[in-house]
Amino acid sequence: MEVCVCSVLLLCVCVYVTLQLIRFITADADFTLLWAAAVGRSPEVALSQKVVWITGASSGIGEELAYQLAAVGARLVLSARRENELHRVRRNCLERSSLEEKDILVLPLDLLDRSTHGEKTESVLQHFSKIDVLVNNGGRSQRSLCVDTDIDVYGSLMELNYLGTVSVTQHVLRHMIQRGDGIIATVSSIVGLVGVPLSTGYAASKHALQGFFNSLRTELTDYPNITISTICPGPVVSQVVHNAFTEQVGKPVSDAGDQSHKMSTERCVHLIVAGLSNRVKELWIGQQPFLLFFYLWQYTPTFAWYITNLLGRKRVQNFKAGLDADTAYFTKPKAKTS
Ligand SMILES: NC(=O)c1ccc[n+]([C@@H]2O[C@H](COP(=O)([O-])OP(=O)(O)OC[C@H]3O[C@@H](n4cnc5c(N)ncnc54)[C@H](O)[C@@H]3O)[C@@H](O)[C@H]2O)c1
C-alpha cells in the first residue's frame, strides 16, 4: 500500500515537472507577465478612457500599441517626427475603435529636440487635462562593430534613446507627482539586461535606461500609485533594423534582412498591454531561446557568458562575411543583396 502511494506521488511530481517544463519551453514572457495576461485585470477595465501618450507611434511596436489601446477605449496622444504617418495611424485607430476624433491627438515630437518637450507636455495637458500613461517607445538600434564605429554614433544613441526619453519623462513625471498617479512605461530591450555584439552603443543606451528607471522607481516610494515599468522585448517584427545606426551617423543599413523568425508585433504588444493593465514593473518578452537568455543572465551568468560568446562569435563572423547576422542562428544565412 505504502509503495503504491509513493508511486502515485512520484508520478504526480513527474507530470507536474513535465507540464512546467512544457510551459516554460513554449512560454514567450516571464511568469509574472503571463500570469497578469491570463488572470489579471483586463485592458478594457484598466485602460478604457485613460490618456496614453506613445512616443515612436508611427511604426512598429508603437503603431501596434496605438491600435490595441484604441480598441480597448484608451484615449491617445500619438508622437513621432513624421506627422503624415501619425495621421495614418490615427485614421486606422478611428476605424478600429469606437473612439471619436477628439480622443486621439496627433502631436509631432522629435526626441532629440529636448527644448520642445515641456511645451509638448503642456499641449497634451491642454487637450486632455491629464496624462495617465506615458509609453517611452521611440528609439533606434545599431548594427556595427565597435572598432569601426564613429564615436558620434555612440553620442547619437545616448542622445536619442537615453536623454530624449529622460527628458520627456521628467516633464510628465512632474504632472504625475502633482496628481499622485500614473504609469511611466519604457520600451527598453533584452539588450538592456544582456550584452550582444554589433550593438554596443544600443545596449549601453538601454542599460542606461534600466539604471535610470530602476533608480527612479525607488525614488518614488512616497508615490505608491506612480508605476515605473520597463519593457524588455527580444527580437520583434518592426522597422527597427531598417532604421538602425551603422558605423557612421546618417549611413543607412544596407540590408535589414529577414524578419520572419521574430515575434509578431501583435503578440508583443498584447503582452505589453497586459503588463500596463496590471502595472507590472519589469516585462520580459521573447520567444525561445531569447526568454531562456533572460533567465540564464539573471540566475547563471557564467553559463550565460558561455552561450552568449558562442552565438556572438557566429553573429560577428556572419556580419564580417556580409551575411544576414540576425537570422544566422536560426535559419540558413542569407547573403546580403547589395
Ligand atoms: N523590434 C525589436 O526587435 C525591438 C526589440 C527590443 C526593443 N525594441 C525597442 O522598441 C522601440 C520601438 O522600436 P520598433 O521596434 O517599433 O522600431 P521602429 O523603427 O519600427 O519604430 C521606432 C519608432 O521610434 C521613432 N523615432 C525614431 N527616432 C525618433 C526621434 N528622434 N524622435 C521621435 N521618434 C523617433 C520612429 O519614428 C518610430 O516611430 C525602440 O525603443 C526599440 O529600441 C525593439
Candidate of 68, 141, 162 to mutate for ligand 1, largest count of ligand atoms within 8 Å of Cβ:
141
pLDDT score, position 254 = 86
pLDDT score, position 92 = 98
**Ligand 1 within 6 A of CB of 240:** yes
pLDDT score, position 21 = 65
**Residue 330 is placed in which grid cell?**
536560426
Q: Tell me the ipTM for this assembly.
A: 0.99
pLDDT score, position 329 = 61
**Ligand 1 within 6 A of CB of 189:** yes
Angstrom distance (rounded) from CA 336 to CA 256: 9
The 3-class SS string of 200-229 reads HHHHHHHHHHHHHHHHHHHHCCCCCCEEEE
Tell me how far CA of residue 160 lies from CA of 21, 48, 205, 229, in angstroms.
40, 30, 9, 19
Candidate of 53, 59, 61 to mutate for ligand 1, largest count of ligand atoms within 8 Å of Cβ:
61
pLDDT score, position 12 = 83
CA of 206 to the centre of ligand 1 (A): 12
Angstrom distance (rounded) from CA 90 to CA 271: 22
Q: Which fold does the domain 25-301 belong to in CATH? A: Rossmann fold (3.40.50)
Name the closest-CA residue to atom 6, ligand 1: 189
**Ligand 1 within 6 A of CB of 265:** no
All residue ranges of the chain with pLDDT < 70 are: 1, 18-25, 327-338
pLDDT score, position 328 = 58
**Ligand 1 within 6 A of CB of 62:** yes
Instruction: Report which secondary-structure segment, H or E, holds 282.
Output: strand 282-285
pLDDT score, position 1 = 67
pLDDT score, position 184 = 99
**Residues designated catalytic:** 202
Atom index in ligand 1 nearest the CA of residue 202 equals: 43
Instruction: Delimit the domains of the chain by residue range.
Output: 25-301
pLDDT score, position 19 = 67
**Residue 284 is placed in which grid cell?**
520580459
